[in-house]
Each structure stands twice: as C-alpha cells, then as structure tokens.
C-alpha cells in the first residue's frame, strides 16, 4: 500500500502542486511565496536531511524531511505535505512514523520534534495521535501580519 524513498529532484514538480492555497503553503514552508516553485523546494531540501517521499500504490502521496538532525540527540521534522487527492488515507501518519523511525533507529535520536501552527487543527490532532506532546510555543506572523502560535511538539524515544 505505502512505500517511501529518498526525494528525487524530479519529484519537486509534483510536490509543489500539493499546497492548494497560500495558507496551506504557509503551514508547509512559511518563508515561501505561493505558488511554490520546484527550484525553491529542491534548494530547501538540499539544506535539510532525509528528504523523503511517500508513494501510495506508485503515486507520489507525501513529502517531508528533517529541518535539523543531531546524531544521538534530536531530529526536527518539517515540510510535511500530502497530495490533496490522497488526504485522509493515512499518508501523513505513515510519513511522520517513517521519519520518526529513521530518527530513533538510524540516527539514535533521544527525541523527535515537530512544529505545527495553532490554526492547523488536523496537524495538531494527528501529531498528538502519533504520540507527540506540546513542549513550547512561539509567536509567528503570517504574511498578512496576523499573529498565530507555532506549537512545538516532541516525542521521546522509548
């Protein structure tokens, strides 16, 4: 059903179509302008680690990576996005679980962190369901100047 592999630069053309609005792109990549361009995604992926795509029956279904990965310490998951045609089918759960397993097993992380904006209720509920708990918060501004909370969540190795 699901599989995953490393991001290929050619995947970017499809992934940039996943955010369907400026608000969705803000959740994925707050500093990017809508619509996202593939070269921006590829450039950002090169600054991060373990850029991973999920496939659902051979179709590109999701994307995410580690914003930061400190071997033996922690990893921070970022850029999580799901193909709009495949949402609510478990893609995000599979992706976050896959990255979490990589962090704990391959990178010996003691914890995995994931940021989520307060207005992203689906994301907050999903991450809670996957065992993440809020640990801190910071104020961020949307491009229109509106303030919202960026909630940092964490899951510890067991």
Task: Delineate the domains of the chain, giving CATH numbers in brackets.
Answer: 2-156 (3.40.630.30)
Place of tokens 């707050």: 30
CA separation for the pair 13, 37 (Å, rounded): 8
| DSSP codes joined into one string, 124-153 | HHHHHHTT-EEEEEEEEE-TTS-EEEEEEE
Q: Are 105 and 75 in contact (CB under 8 A)?
A: no
Q: Which helix (H) or strand (E) holds 13?
A: helix 12-15
Q: What percent of the chain has pLDDT over 70?
A: 100
**70-118 per-position pLDDT tens digit:** 999 999 999 999 999 999 999 999 999 999 999 999 999 999 999 999 9
Entry pTM: 0.97
**10-62 per-position pLDDT tens digit:** 999 999 999 999 999 999 999 999 999 999 999 999 999 999 999 999 999 99
Whole-number average pLDDT of the chain: 97
Q: Are 129 and 117 in contact (CB under 8 A)?
A: no
DSSP lists the bridge partners of residue 148 as 140
């Amino acid at each position: 059903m699901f599989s995953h592999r490393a991001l290929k630069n050619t995947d970017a053309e499809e992934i940039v179509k996943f955010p369907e609005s400026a608000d969705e792109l803000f959740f994925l990549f707050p500093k990017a302008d809508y619509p996202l361009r593939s070269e921006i995604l590829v450039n950002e992926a090169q600054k991060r680690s373990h850029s991973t795509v999920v496939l659902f029956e051979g179709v590109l279904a999701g994307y995410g990576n580690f914003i930061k990965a400190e071997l033996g310490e922690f990893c921070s998951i970022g850029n999580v996005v799901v193909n709009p045609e495949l949402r609510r089918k478990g893609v995000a759960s599979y992706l976050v679980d896959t990255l979490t397993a990589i962090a704990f097993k391959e990178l010996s992380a003691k914890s995995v962190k994931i940021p989520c904006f307060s207005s992203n209720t689906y994301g907050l509920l999903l991450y809670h369901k996957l065992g993440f708990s809020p640990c801190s918060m910071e104020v961020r501004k949307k491009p229109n100047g509106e303030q919202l909370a960026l909630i940092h969540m964490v899951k510890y190795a067991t």
